[in-house]
């Protein structure tokens, strides 16, 4: 049985992947080392942005140890919309990780849950 990657390792790998792909990404907030929840805010640099967070367990298959994400903001959301949603998440769990990325093509480099 495999275990899910520690949050710190996932975040480091994500930042490296973004850099290799030519996108700009930084760690904005460090959460719990092992199991902190990870959120990714992607600014499309055209006045729109997207916020991604962990997919609900109902969208993830049994025994699936991969991190799966869902988009938490609707298409066309602004950076302020994404930030507002992120601040709600902080109130619920202040020990989360936040990655901020900028990519004109809107790439998120995540495994999205099907739903």
Our CA angle for 110, 74, 107, nearest 5°, is 30
Tokens representing 83 are: 């930030």
Q: Which residue ranges form the domains of the chain, and what is each CATH number? A: 7-102 (3.40.1530.20)
Q: What is the pLDDT of residue 64?
A: 60
Q: What is the pLDDT of residue 65?
A: 67
Q: Taking the C-alpha atoms of 14, 97, 7 and 75 in order, what is their torsion angle to the nearest 10 degrees?
A: -50
Q: What is the pLDDT of residue 1?
A: 41
From first to last of its 115 residues, what are the pLDDT tens digits of the chain?
456 678 999 999 999 999 999 999 999 999 988 878 999 999 999 999 999 999 886 666 655 667 889 999 999 999 999 999 999 999 999 899 999 999 999 989 987 665 4
Q: What is the pLDDT of residue 36?
A: 86
């Amino acid at each position: 049985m495999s275990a899910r990657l520690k949050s710190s390792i996932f975040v480091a790998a994500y930042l490296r992947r973004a850099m290799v792909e030519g996108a700009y990404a930084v760690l904005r907030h460090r959460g719990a080392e092992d199991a902190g929840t990870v959120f990714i805010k992607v600014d499309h640099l055209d006045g729109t942005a997207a916020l991604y967070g962990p997919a609900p367990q109902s969208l993830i298959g049994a025994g699936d140890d991969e991190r799966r994400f869902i988009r938490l903001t609707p298409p066309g959301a602004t950076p302020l919309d994404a930030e507002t949603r992120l601040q709600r998440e902080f109130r619920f769990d202040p020990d989360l990780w936040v990655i901020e990325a900028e990519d004109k093509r809107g790439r998120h480099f995540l495994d999205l849950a099907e739903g």
